[in-house]
Amino acid sequence: MNRFITFLLLFFLFSTSTRINPSYASQSGPSNPPACNKVTNSGFESGVTGWTIESGQTVPPVISTAHFVSPTNSMQTGIPVGDTNHQSFSEFYQDISIPFSASSATLSFYVYTTSDDTSTSSFSSPPQVGDSWNNPSIPEVDTQYAYIMDTIGNVLERLLWWSASDTNSWTYLEFDLSDYRGETVRILFGSYNDGVGGNTAMWVDDVFLNACEE
């Protein structure tokens, strides 16, 4: 009987924690910062420390506890479903130096997307390598994105450019940045809302750039 009660208690505790953290990541990724992580405040548990949110944004990114991979924070960009809609970019970044002598350089992060915008038939063409981020072309539809840039905002690489993505779960992504050894790169995440036809948002957590030197 005692064993049965213990089982019930454990079952209850497990069920409760599952309900509290419905968006806890299940995909595989590092559960702890890798040994040579170069990102400051990867999991947003120190608020916005280490990250830049440029002023003047109508919808600036905010620290969120609605979804997370590492408890209990992530960074929210864009506008969650049900909130007041605005035509807006919403983005943040960190400049990170990758050692010249690194044997490898791997960027990894999780993103969680929501959108109730269904007007996605005209897919916006993404900013291209060499474009300046300081004069962005306005996307035609709600968009979530992540880019590698230099520290003055020239596009070096597109990591993702999604049209009103609505995964409602965490997606783990990994990119080889070994071509940028010896450089300082800007890792930028954001969401664009066109202000009509539904809201689009993206949460980001556990941004690691692992670059061990030989």
Among 153, 206, 162, 158, CA closest to 184: 153
Q: Which is nearer to Ca ion, 59 or 211 (CB)?
A: 59
Q: How far is the CB of 200 from Ca ion (least distance, A)?
A: 6
Helix, coil or strand: residue 99:
coil
Q: How far is the CB of 192 from Ca ion (least distance, A)?
A: 9
Q: How far is the CB of 210 from Ca ion (least distance, A)?
A: 17
CA 192 from chain centre, in angstroms, equals 13
Q: Which is nearer to Ca ion, 117 or 166 (CB)?
A: 117
Q: Which is nearer to Ca ion, 44 or 133 (CB)?
A: 44
Radius of gyration of the chain (CA): 19
DSSP bridge pairs for 136 = none
Dig out the tokens for 201 from the structure.
């948002």
> Which parts of this chain interact with Ca ion (CB under 5 A)?
43-44, 68, 70, 73, 117, 142, 194, 197-198, 205
Q: Which is nearer to Ca ion, 23 or 154 (CB)?
A: 23
Contact 192, 145 (CB under 8 A): yes
Q: How far is the CB of 72 from Ca ion (least distance, A)?
A: 7
Q: How far is the CB of 36 from Ca ion (least distance, A)?
A: 20
- What residues contact 176, with CB distance under 8 A and at least 6 apart? 104, 105, 106, 107
Q: Which is nearer to Ca ion, 70 or 106 (CB)?
A: 70
